[in-house]
A and B are shown apart, each in its own frame.
Chain A
């Protein structure tokens, strides 16, 4: 479920990036790379888990599924927080700089 949640987030971000490309003012590419990286890593984790559990891998307990979904959504939220921090720190549109100078 964690893998699935991250893959969906990665696909959505990639579509948004593609729609805005070549303009990447909002640094959506950072989100794409982050979610794709995590998806690939969780895919490896899932493959190893499948090798161990076989068919049982596809029939998780409901409680485990909910917990994994909750974890996946939290991971996506953390990714968004990191993206916002990167966006404000890099400030590609100069909005933060302009706001700070205006106050002075």
Chain B
């Protein structure tokens, strides 16, 4: 009915967080680079803003394709209230129930998969850093 709205809201929130956090991270990185001894380490680490982009891409992509599915099934209309289910109280209650169950589960699953990706990336970064620092030292 309108389950895609929950991941869309999450996508908007994460996109804003990425824009704000990205600027701060860039400033911090440029300060670090000026007095950099650990440049090899910073090169192997994926910036958090880029990691957040993985999440926003999944959320936006999924939400857009799901919204398309809802248009296909005639659940989204181009005039107010835009969702056919929002037309009467009974359907609206059903829509809200679906958003709270299916919609929230969708957002949670995508986020859980992203957290798993972060964990894998962290392991790969840890593995790569000692190898690189050894290379830098000429070992």
Contact = CB atoms under 8 A, between A and B. Distances in A.
Given A44-B109, A74-B72, A75-B69, A37 B62 contact: yes
* Binding site secondary structure of chain A: helix
Q: Looking at chain B, what size class is its interface with the partner chain?
A: 20 to 34
A29 B53 CA distance: 11
* Binding site secondary structure of chain B: helix
Interface string B33-52: 00000000000000000000
Contact of A75 (B3, B68, B101, B109): B68
Contacts of B77: none
A6 B106 contact: no
Given A30-B57, A35-B61, A37-B61, A44 B68 contact: no
Interface in B102-116: 102, 105-106, 109-110, 113
A73 to B, nearest CB: 12
A57 interface: no
Given A34-B57, A71-B72, A40 B106 contact: yes
Interface of B: 3-4, 7, 54, 57-66, 68-69, 72, 101-102, 105-106, 109-110, 113
Given A44-B109, A78-B65, 15 more contacts: A2-B69, A29-B57, A33-B61, A34-B58, A34-B60, A36-B58, A37-B57, A37-B65, A38-B61, A39-B62, A40-B62, A40-B110, A41-B7, A41-B65, A44-B106
